[in-house]
């Protein structure tokens, strides 16, 4: 039997170390934001975005749509105005059943352009859908409430009960006011006013009769607050504003409280907020931030994002298993599993803990719970019995607390799998069994 030389052993060790580093680097690259399919000079920039099925639709001047999650885009102007000197007229996209609505800024577009267009073929072609709106009215946002669809314009709120065939003013109360965004909680419709001041009775309005009458709900806002985007998260309304400001109301606008701990508050307007599973994420001039505890603390999840990226109004979108966030330099994408860990409790023991998954055995999904005694960067991954990485469930900094995330093995075969947690002070691996 030939004896391996010391030099050969050293060489093999170096090769193994290099391979390990490559695996770590590849894993790190996977667990971050990227612009899929982009090549220099061919980057799609979206000002608004939505999805319908597995089709991703982005608007700026005209429409770009992707059927492969952003790897390739197809541009279309079919049925839309073409304006050479107004390259960003698309302001809002909204999916309602099998319909997609596009709101545009009519100013600068050709004569005959209207504020709302509709598509019935996932964004490939469009037709005007603004009958009843005053000619030249730009449309900045939409929201659905029951059988009604509302449109926010620079002249108040319009409503349609027949999918955009006819629109009418809800009331004249908000005339000449620009609506930046909507939100719905139960029977209450919220409308935020762009470029207004809370002290002059503007800011945010609420209506409990579908816009027939409105009441100001601004208590707690500083002077000159403009709310750019809103979202309903478990019955609480969150609104974003300038300089890293994020507000929350737990009583339908009776009182707004600041919940922006961890956010940069120097020239950092927060333009977009969205919910994914049990978390909230926001897009701003400093990138993307995540909260896992209803806004008590926000953490940057900017891995891979180019510094200086500025994210757009109301445009963070889910499509397939990805989150998409349009910015001034491209449309960024990240695996949805990397923004889906749920905070269960802030009360923990003094030790790190990784619990046994439940149920176990499982088919096809199981939940994994862990505890952090202090704020930590957490990496939680799943491996098969051969040691090959299957999924990254968590790869971000989290506050102390008890967390739970779900692993979906629908695409995997029966067998033994392992999940491993790594923090700065703790590493542990546990086994789980998939039985189909």
Spell out the domains of the chain, with CATH numbers in brackets: 48-336 (2.130.10.10), 342-434 (2.60.40.1930)
* Residue 88 pLDDT: 81
Burial of 342 (0-12, 13-18, 19+ CB in 10 A): middle
Q: What is the pLDDT of residue 26?
A: 38
Model confidence pLDDT, tens digit, residues 242-291: 888 999 999 999 999 999 988 988 889 999 999 986 789 999 998 999 88
Q: Which residues contact 432 (CB under 8 A, 6 or more apart)?
A: 356, 357, 360, 361, 362, 366, 416, 417, 418, 419
Return all residues near 363 (Cβ < 8 A) that are at least 6 apart.
Answer: 409, 434, 435, 436
- Here the contacts of 387-392 (C-beta below 8 Å, separation 24 or greater) are 389/23, 389/27, 390/417, 391/337, 392/27, 392/30, 392/31, 392/335, 392/337, 392/338
Percent of residues, the chain, with pLDDT higher than 90: 56
- According to DSSP, residue 321 is labeled T
Alpha carbon 428 to its chain centroid, in Å, reads 31
> Within 13 Å, how many C-alpha atoms sit on residue 18's CB side?
6
Looking at residue 10, what is its pLDDT? 55
- Both tokens of residue 78? 């079919």
d(C-alpha 177, C-alpha 180), whole Å: 10
Q: What is the reported pLDDT for 38?
A: 61
Helix runs in 307-421, H state only: none
Q: Are 372 and 410 in contact (CB under 8 A)?
A: no
What would the pLDDT profile of 65-99 be if each residue is shown by its tens digit? 999 999 999 989 899 987 665 568 899 999 999 99
Q: What is the H or E stretch that residue 248 is in? A: strand 246-249
Q: Rounded to two decimals, what is the model's pTM?
A: 0.77
Residues of the chain below pLDDT 70: 1-31, 38-43, 83-87, 196-201, 277, 337-338, 340
**What's phi and psi for 24, nearest 5 deg?**
-65, -45
- Report the C-alpha gap between 418 and 386 in whole angstroms: 10
**What does the CA dihedral 329, 40, 30, 281 come to, rounded to 10 degrees?**
10
* Per-residue pLDDT at 406: 84
């Amino acid at each position: 039997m030939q004896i391996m030389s010391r030099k050969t052993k050293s060489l093999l060790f170096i090769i193994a170390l290099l391979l390990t580093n490559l695996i770590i680097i590849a894993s790190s690259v996977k667990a971050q934001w990227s612009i899929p399919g982009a090549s220099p000079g061919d980057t799609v920039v979206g000002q608004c975005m939505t999805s319908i099925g597995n089709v991703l639709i982005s608007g700026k001047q005209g429409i770009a749509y992707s059927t492969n999650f952003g790897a390739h885009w197809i541009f279309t102007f079919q049925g839309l105005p073409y304006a050479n000197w107004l390259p960003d007229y698309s302001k809002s996209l909204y999916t309602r059943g099998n319909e997609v609505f596009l709101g545009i800024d009519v100013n600068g577009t050709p004569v005959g352009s209207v504020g709302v267009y509709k598509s019935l073929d996932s964004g490939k072609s469009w037709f005007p859908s603004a009958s009843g709106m005053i000619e030249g009215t730009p449309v900045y946002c939409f929201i659905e409430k029951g059988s009604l669809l509302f449109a926010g314009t620079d002249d108040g709120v319009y409503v349609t009960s027949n999918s955009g065939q006819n629109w009418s003013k809800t009331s004249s109360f908000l005339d000449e006011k620009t609506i930046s965004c909507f939100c719905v909680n139960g029977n209450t419709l919220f409308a935020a006013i762009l470029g207004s001041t809370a002290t002059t009775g503007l800011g945010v309005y609420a209506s409990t009769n579908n816009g027939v009458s409105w009441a100001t709900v601004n208590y707690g806002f500083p002077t000159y607050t403009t709310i750019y985007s809103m979202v309903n998260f478990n019955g609480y309304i969150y609104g974003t504003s300038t300089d890293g400001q994020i507000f929350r109301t737990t009583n339908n606008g009776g009182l707004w409280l600041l919940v922006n701990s961890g956010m940069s508050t120097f020239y950092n307007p927060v333009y977009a907020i969205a919910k994914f599973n049990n978390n909230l994420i926001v897009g701003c001039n400093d990138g993307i931030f995540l909260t896992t505890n209803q806004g008590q603390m926000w953490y940057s999840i900017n891995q891979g994002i180019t510094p200086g990226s500025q994210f757009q109004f109301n445009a963070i979108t889910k499509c397939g298993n990805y989150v998409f966030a349009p910015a001034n330099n491209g449309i960024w994408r990240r695996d949805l599993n990397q923004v889906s860990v749920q905070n269960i409790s802030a009360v923990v023991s003094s030790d790190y803990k990784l619990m046994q998954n439940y149920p176990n055995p499982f088919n096809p999904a199981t939940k994994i719970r862990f505890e952090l005694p202090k704020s930590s960067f957490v990496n939680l991954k799943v491996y098969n019995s051969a040691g090959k990485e299957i999924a990254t469930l968590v790869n971000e900094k989290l506050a102390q607390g008890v967390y739970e995330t779900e692993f979906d093995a629908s695409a995997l075969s029966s067998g033994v799998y392992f999940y491993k947690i790594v923090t700065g002070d703790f590493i542990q691996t546990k086994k789980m069994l998939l039985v189909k």
